Amino acid sequence: MTLWELFFTSKKTVPPHLGTWYFLLPTSLVIIAVLSIRFASSKGYRNFWYWGQLIQLLIINAWYIAARLPLSEALPFYHSRMAMWMILFAPNKTFFKQYFALLGVFGSIMALVYPVFYPYPFPHVSSVNNVFGHWALLANCLIYLVRYYKVEKGDTWKICRMTLGVNAIIFLANLLTGGNYGFMSNPPVIGDHGALVNYLIVTSLMTGILILINQFVKYKLKNRQLIN
């Protein structure tokens, strides 16, 4: 099998096994988080991750089409994938984009602390997409939060409503396609408790975590402004 075939094959085997290399994923998140906060004002750094994210999305979606993946897998209804598109194209200085930046931070951390790979050998495009895509997502979301984060009145309630709405869309997508978007049909760790219960559990956990991330970002940026 050539490198091109290995990268773009549609023949399923088994997911890549990271073994002792696993520790590099959480470590990489810390490094990228520090660099993204430090160099958020660097146009070159911002452009690298912006265009890297866009190219990554175009490649993976082209592969979805070429491999004829079913609608249960190929639609953009995973939380991280939704955040990738929003952080690239949603208007700046809106709570809508700010919410997806918070969601992207959460999603990128979860994706690389608890990685779930497609059943193809490394370095398949899906594996590279999972790793590089979430690196770029974390970088772009943190850059956005450093540059544009705004304290909103009633932000906790807004996060609750947004999460309920986003997860309702994903819930409906799963019902229509039979997919596991947002891992709500078969959530990792907590297991499957039925579609509606899964929706309530995942939404409750996500809402709580996003509120905590929002409070942390708010606290850090306020302290930074005081120091400056």
pLDDT in tens, 169-224: 999 999 999 999 988 888 877 777 788 899 999 999 999 999 999 999 988 877 66
From the number of C-beta atoms within 10 Å of its C-beta (0-12, 13-18, 19+), residue 138 rates as buried
According to the model, what pLDDT value does residue 80 have?
94
User: Does the global pTM surpass 0.85?
Assistant: yes
Closest by CA to 110, choosing from 8, 209, 34, 185, is 209
Confidence of residue 227 (pLDDT cuts 50, 70, 90): very low
Amino acid found at 100 = F
- The stretch 146-162 carries a mean pLDDT of 92
Please, are residues 134 and 80 in contact by the beta-carbon 8 Å criterion?
yes
- The stretch 49-60 carries a mean pLDDT of 95
Please, are residues 16 and 121 in contact by the beta-carbon 8 Å criterion?
yes
Using N-to-C axis directions, what is the helix angle for 95-113 and 155-177, rounded to 10°?
60
d(CA 199, CA 194): 9
